[in-house]
Amino acid sequence: MAGGLTRQFRMFGHYNAWANARLYEAAGRLGDADYRADRGAFFKSVHGTLNHLLATDRIWMKRFTGEGDAPDRLDAILFDTFGALRAARVAEDARIVAYVDGLDDTRVAGTISYRRVSSPEHFVQELAPALAHWFNHQTHHRGQTHALLTGLGQPGPELDLLFFQREQIKSASSR
């Protein structure tokens, strides 16, 4: 049986996919001009921020697994159209869920070795804090995207972890 930290990372992987689906549903209601408008966010627009999230997820998954394509820039625009970006997001979320569902306590207690995207520095880091950073980073940029959507007059979706957990409990009890 997986320990608490391993179970927590598995839950975060599922939460991440759930929250991304809700965020993309809301973003999909924007017109193209609003979707691409520079709103002063770090990655400028909803489009730029969603691409950044996918880019960094691919970077971290390459670090964690040694597999997959990883961009060499944090501001890479991996997909220019919303439809293609959304399809790639769904695929990456499935990959993330499979990865975290496959973790065990031994692996979570291990280390990873990687180079930064922005410099040649090499790091060896414990996996658990790297996973915690990664999931926190995703939440941070989803929050930015949520604020961008709100500023564009699009009601932002409920993204709280507790809301996800309540939905999971309700779904399990109705089976």
Binding residue numbers: 52, 137, 141
Helices (H), the chain: 4-27, 32-36, 46-65, 82-101, 105-108, 127-151, 161-173
Q: Which residues participate in the annotated binding site for a divalent metal cation?
A: 52, 137, 141
Structure tokens given for 108 = 């979570």
Give the angle subtended at the CA of 65 by the CAs of 63 and 69, to the nearest 5°.
70
The amino acid at residue 143 is G
> Longest C-alpha distance within the chain, in Å?
51
Contacts of 104 (CB under 8 A, 6+ apart): 2, 6
Contacts of 44 (CB under 8 A, 6+ apart): 38
Element (H or E) spanning 119, and its range? none
Contacts of 95 (CB under 8 A, 6+ apart): 61, 68
